[in-house]
């Protein structure tokens, strides 16, 4: 049994990525017969989609989904490492599962996802959470049937985590949450190594799927009535760079648009890899949604440099302005406050870029040190107090929310198309998203779920809109 190792996971070679075609071993086919599973997912869309593969794998070996965790025969936690609070949530859940396992000792408890790739986490599990049956890493999803089988025959904690650059697995079964919108991976891993970020260690090197595999998946989704695909990657704009096949994200977007699936989205974009050709393709096709998530992280050149982001505030603004030329575009961002060494002046530069860009929305975070990343060492010498950082976050959010509201108000009385997703939390209301990814609540009936309808906006708030159906 080998523990995960961040030093090994940091290595990048020119070795060719191995492509694996998944096939289920007959030995495992019925091991889940008359048993049920419960998968709990933390973190980003990548994890959400991995859970769709995990559920697909579990069903392929006979398990059925159970919506009640307490009743399930196998419980899998698909975890996230991005910030400390994600860690805490997963460990909190492990505590709960300890009690559950005392009452139902035969329940299998497994942990996977990004936390499984961290040696500190796995050591803690081995020491303090002996009720966990096994841990499997982000590079080992396809090993799940084997691990369950082995566990049923030998009840030791089993660590199955590879600290490698990663391979590419095609043909994993998938049980999609939605019948009309789907995630499609286009590139795994990340080679940017922003100094605060754990992802390049937990997800391995940048590796793109072949365009033909992606197009086959999109075409199949379209034939099955899907209305929307979201092309997924930590940095989708780097798509194709590792393949040397002469195509990039601009080419891929164009080919996906040509399948005529009604809506094409893509996340997340890194400013460094955004080319003019990509912008032209987004402009050219009506079914490529006019929505870009463009993390800026900070507005201070000094902090951007310490973060290893590879662009300056001015370069970001130039790209932002080019994107703004796309008719009707909506742009959102991610911002970290309290990166080690961030002064009040640096923070004011961040407020400044927010004032300049007037984002449609933003995810904002307080810097959270991640063991093994370069910024964690800077954090040891950081003098800014948590209170100051919380104050900065508060000030930033006030500003962000005022611009979100402003951008939503500009939509008042206009008509937009939304893809209806389901019943909203509000009584008797339905909800869906505009092409620009804005949440709209409206009165309608359930027959509309999965359809694209016209809506007039009648009220605007910071985080959502109210609308009415236009016949
Ligand atoms: N601390 C705080 N926020 C982080 N992010 C990534 N790593 C950290 C960290 N260590 C944020 C970035 C990224 C988003 C997904 O999470 O803003 O874009
Ligand atoms: Fe993390 Fe930077 Fe890669 Fe995004 S681009 S996943 S922030 S290292």
Q: Which atom of ligand 2 is nearest to the CA of 235?
A: 5
Give me the residue label for tokens 């590796």: 207
Residue 366: other Cβ atoms inside 10 A:
16
Atom of ligand 1 nearest to the CA of 268: 18
Q: Report in angstroms the alpha-carbon separations of 78 from 3, 94, 114, 359.
A: 18, 12, 8, 31
465 lines ligand 1 (CB under 6 A): no
Query: Can you tell me which atom of ligand 1 is nearest the CA of 197?
Result: 7
Q: How far is CA 10 from each of CA 112, 147, 368, 393, rounded to the nearest angstrom?
A: 19, 26, 19, 31
Provide the angle, in degrees to the nearest 10, between the axes of the packed helices 344-357 and 313-324.
Answer: 10
Contact 267 CB / ligand 1 (< 6 Å)? no
Ligand 1 pocket: which of 85, 334, 361, 378 to mutate (most atoms within 8 A of CB): 334
Q: Ligand 1 atom 16: the closest Cα is on which residue?
A: 82
Please choose, from the candidates 287, 271, 282, 284, the residue with its C-alpha nearest in 3D space to the C-alpha of residue 329: 282
Among 10, 46, 166, 199, the mutation site with the greatest number of ligand 2 atoms within 8 A of its Cβ is 199
Residue nearest ligand 2's atom 5 by CA = 192
**What is the SS3 assignment for 399?**
helix
Cα–Cα dist 147/134, whole Å: 8
Which of 40, 114, 45 lies closest to 80 in space, CA to CA? 114
What pLDDT is recorded for position 426? 75
φ/ψ region of 225 (left if φ > 0, alpha if ψ in -120 to 50, else beta) reads left
Q: Is 83 in the pocket of ligand 1 (CB under 6 A)?
A: yes
Please report where in the chains the tokens 């199949």 appear, as a residue.
220
Between CA 446 and CA 134 the distance in angstroms is 41
Q: Please indicate whether residue 197, judged by its CB atom, sits closer than 6 Å to ligand 2.
A: yes
- N-terminal to C-terminal alpha carbon distance within the chain: 62
Nearest to 336, CA basis, from 162, 148, 194, 455: 194
Mutate to test the pocket of ligand 2, among 200, 272, 316 (most ligand atoms within 8 A of CB): 200
State which H helix or E strand residue 319 sits in: helix 313-324
Which ligand is the nearest neighbour of the Cα of 309? 2
Q: To test ligand 1's pocket by mutation, which of 196, 237, 296 has the most ligand atoms within 8 angstroms of CB?
A: 196
Q: Is the Cβ–Cβ distance between 464 and 360 less than 8 Å?
A: no
pTM exceeds cut of 0.75 = yes
| Closest listed residue to residue 179, CA positions, set 218, 225, 229, 214 | 225
Q: In what order do the strands lie in the sheet with 361-366?
A: 291-293, 330-337, 361-366
Instruction: Record the tokens describing residue 267, joined without a space.
Output: 């996340």
Ligand 2 contacts CB of residue 199 (under 6 A)? yes
- Return all residues near 153 (Cβ < 8 A) that are at least 6 apart: none
Q: How many CB atoms lie within 10 A of CB 23?
A: 8
Give the C-alpha separation, 337 to 173, whole Å. 40
Sequence-distant (≥ 6) Cβ neighbours of residue 318 within 8 angstroms: none
Report the distance separating Cα 101 and Cα 109, nearest Å: 8
Tokens 């050219």, residue located: 284
Task: Name, in order, each residue with C-beta under 8 angstroms of 462's C-beta and a sequence gap of 6 or more.
Answer: 401, 402, 404, 405, 408
Name the residue at shortest CA distance from atom 4 of ligand 2. Answer: 234
CB 111 within 8 A of CB 132: yes
Kindly list the distances between the CA atom of residue 57 and the CA atoms of 54, 112, 133, 173, 174, in Å, as whole numbers in the listed order.
Answer: 5, 14, 18, 6, 7
193 touches ligand 2 (CB under 6 Å): yes
CA distances from 307 to 87, 197, 267, 297 (A): 22, 9, 21, 9
Q: How many residues does the chain have?
A: 471
Q: Quick one: which ligand is closest to 200's CA?
A: 2
pLDDT of res. 155: 64
**Cβ–ligand 1 contact at 393 (below 6 Å):** no
Whether the CB of 368 sits within 6 Å of ligand 1? yes
Residue segments in the chain with a per-residue pLDDT below the cut of 70:
155, 157
Report CA(231)–ligand 1 centroid distance (Å).
Answer: 20
Tell me what pLDDT residue 158 has: 86
Could you tell me if the CB of 334 is within 6 A of ligand 1? Answer: yes
**Run of H or E including 381:** none
Ligand 2 centroid–CA 127 distance in Å is: 31
HSE value, Cβ hemisphere, 13 Å, CA-based, for 269: 24
Q: Is the peptide bond before 98 cis (omega within 30 degrees of 0)?
A: no
Q: Which residues are bridge partners to 109 per DSSP? A: 75
Q: Please, which residues have CB within 8 angstroms of residue 3's CB and are 6 or more apart in sequence?
A: 119, 122, 123, 159, 161
CB 4 within 8 A of CB 117: yes
* Index of the ligand 2 atom closest to the CA of residue 234: 6
* Angle at the Cα of 442 from the Cα atoms of 438 and 444, rounded to 5 degrees: 130
Decide: 52 and 183 in contact? Cβ < 8 Å: yes
């Amino acid at each position: 049994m080998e523990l995960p190792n961040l030093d090994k996971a940091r290595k990048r070679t020119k070795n060719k990525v191995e492509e694996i075609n998944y096939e289920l071993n007959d030995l495992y086919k019925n091991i889940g017969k008359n048993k049920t599973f419960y998968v709990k997912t933390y973190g980003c869309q990548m994890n959400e989609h991995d859970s769709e593969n995990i559920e697909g794998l579990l069903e392929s070996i006979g398990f059925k989904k159970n919506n009640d965790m307490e009743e399930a025969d196998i419980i899998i936690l698909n975890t996230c490492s991005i910030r400390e609070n994600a860690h805490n949530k997963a460990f909190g859940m492990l505590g709960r599962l300890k009690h559950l396992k005392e009452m139902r000792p035969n329940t299998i408890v497994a942990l996977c996802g990004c936390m499984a790739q961290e040696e500190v986490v796995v050591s803690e599990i081995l020491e303090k959470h002996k009720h966990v049956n096994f841990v499997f890493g982000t590079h080992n999803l396809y090993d799940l049937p084997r691990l369950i089988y082995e566990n049923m025959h030998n009840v030791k904690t089993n660590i199955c985590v590879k600290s490698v650059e990663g391979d590419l697995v095609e043909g994993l079964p998938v049980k999609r949450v939605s019948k009309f919108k789907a995630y499609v991976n286009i590139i795994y891993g990340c080679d940017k190594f922003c100094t605060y970020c754990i992802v390049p260690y937990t997800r391995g090197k940048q590796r793109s799927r072949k365009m033909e595999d992606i197009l086959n998946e999109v075409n199949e989704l379209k034939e099955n009535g899907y209305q929307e695909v979201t092309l997924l990657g930590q940095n989708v704009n780097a798509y194709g760079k590792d393949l040397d096949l002469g195509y990039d994200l601009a080419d891929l977007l164009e080919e996906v648009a040509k399948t005529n699936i009604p809506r094409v989205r893509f996340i997340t974009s890194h400013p460094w890899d955004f080319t003019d050709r990509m912008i032209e393709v987004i402009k050219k096709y009506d079914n490529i949604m006019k929505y870009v998530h463009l993390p800026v992280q900070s507005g201070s050149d000094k902090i951007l440099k310490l973060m290893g982001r590879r662009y300056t505030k001015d370069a970001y603004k130039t790209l932002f302005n080019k994107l703004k030329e796309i008719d009707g575009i909506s742009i959102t961002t991610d911002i970290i406050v309290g990166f080690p060494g961030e002064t009040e002046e640096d923070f004011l530069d961040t407020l400044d870029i927010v004032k300049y860009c007037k984002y449609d929305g933003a995810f904002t975070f307080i810097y959270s040190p991640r063991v093994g990343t370069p910024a964690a060492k800077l954090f040891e010498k950081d003098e800014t107090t948590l209170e100051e950082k919380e104050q900065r976050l508060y000030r930033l959010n006030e500003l962000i929310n005022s611009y979100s509201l402003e951008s939503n108000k500009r939509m008042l009385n206009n008509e937009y198309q939304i893809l209806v997703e389901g019943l909203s939390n509000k009584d008797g209301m339905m909800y869906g998203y505009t092409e620009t990814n804005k949440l709209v609540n409206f009165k309608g009936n359930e027959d509309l779920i999965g359809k694209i309808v016209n809506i007039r906006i009648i009220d605007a708030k910071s985080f959502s809109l109210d609308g009415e159906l236009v016949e």
